[in-house]
């Protein structure tokens, strides 16, 4: 679903951060935005609703190289956390090239993680997308908090297929770029 801009010699790829409300999607994007060279990124745009917001911006990574003479530009999006904004969540997935599911590691959020994962599958299915064919990774966020599930428990609940997964503390930047690079490399591989 990548878009090719022949004038600028760029391939535009869309990566969506999906997951529960308050799970760390926005924190991931804000951390990435704050660490990327301002010369290679666009502005961060926030589309706010009454209680939630969607963020997005684009950037040109310097370490992924080019594909047939084209640079890759990544457009990063978050979805609103609350499922009652499902129309927005679904719309943001249209044309997606890669997905990062941000799971909240806190034990009391396990059910919300599973619900958000089911919601992701349903929304992708409505477009005829198959998650097994889309570059996809899971980030187990908030690993620094008390009463978190073990990574093994989280894998059992959310990652039985064994997609790439990463531990993270997005507020500190731990695991943020590792997760993004993991998905970005998979996206570039599908373009090659």
Give the CB-side neighbour count of residue 189, counting CA atoms within 13 A.
11
pLDDT of 168 reads 98
Give Cα 18 to chain centroid, integer Å: 6
Per-residue confidence band for 35, with pLDDT thresholds at 50, 70 and 90: very high
Q: How many CB atoms lie within 10 A of CB 92?
A: 22
Tell me the per-residue pLDDT of 81-139, one tens digit each, with 9 for 90 and over: 776 678 888 989 999 999 999 999 999 999 999 999 999 999 999 999 999 999 999 99
H or E element in which residue 14 lies: strand 10-19
Tell me the per-residue pLDDT of 43-96, one tens digit each, with 9 for 90 and over: 888 876 665 556 676 666 655 667 788 888 899 998 887 766 788 889 899 999
H or E element in which residue 10 lies: strand 10-19
For 103-168, the three-class secondary structure string (H helix, E strand, C coil) is EECEHHHHHHHHHHHHHHHHHHHHCCCCHHHCCEEEEEECCCCCCECCHHHHHHHHCCCCCCEEEC
Triad 80, 169, 71: Cα angle to 5°? 70
Residue 143 has pLDDT above 70, yes or no: yes
Sorted by where each starts, the structural domains of the chain and their CATH numbers stand as 3-191 (3.40.50.300)
**47/65 Cα distance (integer angstroms):** 31
pLDDT of 192 reads 77
Give the CB-side neighbour count of residue 96, counting CA atoms within 13 A.
31
pLDDT of 89 reads 87
Give Cα 72 to chain centroid, integer Å: 17
pLDDT of 62 reads 53
């Amino acid at each position: 679903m990548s878009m090719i801009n022949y004038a600028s010699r760029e391939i535009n790829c869309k990566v969506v951060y999906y997951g529960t409300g308050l799970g760390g999607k926005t924190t991931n994007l804000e951390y990435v935005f704050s660490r990327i060279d301002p010369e290679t990124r666009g502005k961060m745009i926030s589309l706010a609703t009454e209680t939630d917001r969607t963020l997005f911006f684009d950037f040109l990574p310097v370490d992924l190289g080019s594909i047939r003479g084209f640079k890759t530009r990544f457009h990063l999006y978050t979805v609103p956390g609350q499922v009652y904004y499902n129309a927005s969540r679904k719309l943001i997935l249209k044309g997606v090239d890669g997905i990062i599911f941000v799971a909240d590691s806190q034990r009391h959020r396990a059910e919300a993680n599973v619900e958000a994962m089911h919601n992701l599958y349903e929304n992708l299915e409505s477009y005829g997308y198959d998650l097994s064919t889309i570059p996809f990774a899971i980030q187990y966020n908030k690993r620094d908090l008390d009463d978190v599930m073990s990574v093994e428990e989280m894998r059992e609940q959310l990652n039985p297929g064994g997609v790439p997964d990463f531990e993270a503390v997005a507020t500190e930047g731990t695991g943020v770029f590792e997760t993004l690079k993991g998905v970005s490399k998979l996206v570039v591989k599908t373009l090659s």
